């Protein structure tokens, strides 16, 4: 059973370009989360999605960032017009159940490391 | 604001030494608690979790953690570390009824052979 798959693992972009990060959740998981880890900081929640719905995007910067989880295909985190401060590791996690339940567990991907030159 | 503090950012131990990593959180309500580990070049993996019941939780690879509600703490312990325990360890809190994990900044453990 494949785990959470993220690609690309490493992405280099110049300022002003677009970055697209993909996440395929574990089989059977319909809840996807994106976290960002800046150097020397912990993981920060960005967005929570279910199939075709954004449930909570309160952790996303208001501009340039967007996320989707279409009916078919992976979840995508899109960063437009990247700036140096966007350089970070972006982690995707998935779960198979209502996160309000007391048996929730997140399964993480290996992360995508974005470097903005 | 809700937060999780891991006071030890870097820990260096010799093999067979005992380990205790601190984790404190600030949230007044009921929480679920987790420790995740990230080995070099790998994804985060769940070490152990606490939802309710016995506050002493046993996880994989000989790790355990104790939830002390009065101290808002969930410290991770292992009696005798091995070189293969070299990794980064993250404490996380999820307020009950929510879905947001709040992570600490992590502790990098290096075990010397």
The pLDDT tens digits of the residues spanning A32-44 come to: 999 999 877 788 9
Give pLDDT tens digits for B3-38: 899 988 999 999 999 999 999 999 888 889 999 999
The conformation of residue B61, written as its DSSP 8-state character, comes to: G
Write out chain A residues lying below 8 Å of B96, CB-based: 102
- Identify the burial level of B36 via C-beta atoms within 10 angstroms of its C-beta, where 0-12 means exposed, 13-18 middle and 19 or more buried: buried
**Residue to test with chain B: of A56, A104, A105, A109, most B Cβ within 10 A:** A104
CA separation, residue A24 to residues A33, A52, A109, B79, B101 (Å): 11, 14, 9, 37, 20
pLDDT band of A21, cuts 50, 70, 90: very high
A110 to chain B, closest Cα gap in Å: 4
Provide the percentage of residues in chain A whose pLDDT is more than 70: 91
Is pLDDT above 60 for A100?
no
Q: For chain B, give the percent of residues with pLDDT over 90.
A: 73
Is B99 close to A33, i.e. CB distance below 8 A?
A: yes
CB B24 within 8 A of CB B107: no
Lowest mean pLDDT among A28-37, A61-70, A90-99, B32-41: A90-99
Per-residue model confidence (pLDDT) at position A103: 60
CB B66 within 8 A of CB B48: no
| Sole residue written with tokens 């091995």 | B82
Mean pLDDT of B64-88: 96
Q: CB-based contacts of B37: which residues, under 8 Å, 6+ apart? A: B44, B45, B47, B87, B88, B89, B90
Average pLDDT over residues B31-58: 91
Which of A41, A102, A110 is nearest residue B105 as measured by Cβ atoms? Answer: A41
Is residue B2 within 8 A of residue B93, CB to CB? The reply is yes
Identify any residues that bridge with B109 across adjacent strands, giving them in sequence order. B11, B87
């Amino acid at each position: 059973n494949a785990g959470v798959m993220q690609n690309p693992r490493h992405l280099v972009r110049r300022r002003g370009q677009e970055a697209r990060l993909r996440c395929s959740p574990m089989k059977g998981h319909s809840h996807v989360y994106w976290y960002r880890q800046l150097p020397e900081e912990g993981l920060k929640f960005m967005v929570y999605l279910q199939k075709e719905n954004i449930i909570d995007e309160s952790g996303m910067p208001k501009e340039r960032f967007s996320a989707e989880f279409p009916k078919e295909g992976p979840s995508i985190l899109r960063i437009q017009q990247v700036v140096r401060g966007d350089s970070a590791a972006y982690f995707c996690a998935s779960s198979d159940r209502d996160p309000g339940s007391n048996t929730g567990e997140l399964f993480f991907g290996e992360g995508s490391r974005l470097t903005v030159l | 604001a809700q937060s999780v503090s891991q006071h030890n950012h870097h820990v260096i131990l010799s093999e067979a030494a005992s380990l205790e990593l601190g984790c404190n959180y600030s949230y007044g309500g009921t929480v679920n608690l987790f420790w995740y580990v990230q080995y070099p070049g790998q994804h985060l993996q769940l070490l152990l979790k606490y939802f309710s019941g016995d506050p002493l939780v046993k996880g994989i690879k000989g790790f355990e953690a104790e939830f002390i509600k009065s101290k808002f703490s969930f410290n991770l312990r292992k009696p005798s570390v091995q070189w293969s325990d070299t990794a980064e360890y993250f404490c996380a809190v999820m307020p009950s009824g929510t879905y947001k994990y709040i992570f600490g900044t992590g502790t990098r453990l290096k075990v010397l052979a």
